[in-house]
Structure 1
């Protein structure tokens, strides 16, 4: 168990009590909300991650959780982690059924590496009215090693990119750039529309290992 946890610490804090905070900004740099994460439990190589989202005035909006599984040479994010927590708030009284493929991150990242796709399918039933939402994460690749500075410090990161396509009546496609640091996880991410214009970004603003 200890060896497995040490292996899984490569790119994400796989330790009970670890906390990290990511602040989300719009394209003009205005703070929109803050996502706070805490590893609340580790059992049989599965870490439970509690997520709390506060608005820009520090008012709590929603709390949810997802699982992070250690597979020895990689970690696997529960596909539920792909959903924006505010979806739970917006549809809290709606029957939901979720299926999908977990998001995997190897412990041996290398420049030029191609990573596996992931997806989420969400079926909602609102008093007989059925709605479906899908999220597909594709074209994942490791592009470079870069130094990134945020309010939480300066980190040596692998720079990743991928395509995020969401369908719910209409289709929206985003290009995501993401920087991941060893033992920390996501340090920064940027979201671009299909025309390459910045839509918003997120930064690590606090980290307690």
Structure 2
């Protein structure tokens, strides 16, 4: 009899664990049809508004992924519309949206099409304060036909700092905060500092970038969910 119980435990425990892991992600992104982000410069002026429309949603082996079509105001040439994505499982979120770039870049390169060409940006969905994360590196393309410039954007010394409830015009979110050191080449040899707020099942909610001297250079804010209009409002904690 003891042998039978041991055998049942050997078979059932992995199945239960798998079921619990799937339950954690069954409702991820289920209520999102679009997202709106607004970026501001240091003078609180809007430098970019991006509207992401969910074009498809599908389950992966471990979670769920949604594809987003990005429209930027003023609208880019439709032939150059870019696809972005959000993905999440029980362990991490992967963000492939242009708004994870520092807000000041949308001001500095307002006459160019700015996109992420390669690299991944991952955030664990469970953490402890002070936890260190691997460095992240993204390749950014800046286009003014027929000219293309390439930048390398690196986030170093990434770490979780705390959990925080954040109020925005898009709603109230329970977020975890990640702080990093940023470096962009060949644009500048100086490091900056980045503070980001993430909400599981949503992604980026807020982001603030500073110079190494602590001066804010730009802010990105989630300003709408499932709305065709962007409500702009400067929120700073």
After superposition, the Cα gap between the structure-2 partners of 1:157 and 1:17, relative to the gap in structure 1 and judged at 3 Å, is: closer
Q: Give the structure-1-normalised TM-score.
A: 0.73
- Secondary structure of the equivalent of 1:175? strand
Unmatched runs of 5 consecutive residues or more in structure 2: 1-18, 228-237
After superposition, the Cα gap between the structure-2 partners of 1:64 and 1:173, relative to the gap in structure 1 and judged at 3 Å, is: farther
| 2:201 pairs with 1:186 | no
Q: Give the structure-2-normalised TM-score.
A: 0.65
* Alignment match, 1:117: 135
What value does the CA root-mean-square deviation take over the aligned residues? 3.9
| 2:95 pairs with 1:77 | yes
State how 1:25-104 maps to structure 2 within 5 Å. 25-45=40-60, 46-54=65-73, 59-61=74-76, 63-78=81-96, 90=112, 98-100=117-119, 102-104=120-122
Of 27-36 and 40-49, deviating more is 40-49
Count of aligned residue pairs for this structure pair? 198
- CA shift digits 1:33-85 (9 cap, x unpaired): 2111222112452421222211xxxx313631123344552232349776678
Structure 1 ranges of 4+ moved more than 6 A:
2-5, 83-89
- CA shift digits 1:83-113 (9 cap, x unpaired): 6789797369xxx99543x111112133222
* Structure having the higher Rg: 2
Does the 8 A contact of 1:79 with 1:120 survive in 2? no
Match of 1:205 among 223, 227, 230: 223
User: Where is the helix percentage greater, Structure 1 or Structure 2?
Assistant: 2
- Secondary structure of the equivalent of 1:28? coil
After superposition, the Cα gap between the structure-2 partners of 1:24 and 1:6, relative to the gap in structure 1 and judged at 3 Å, is: farther
Alpha-carbon distance, 1:135 to partner: 1.2
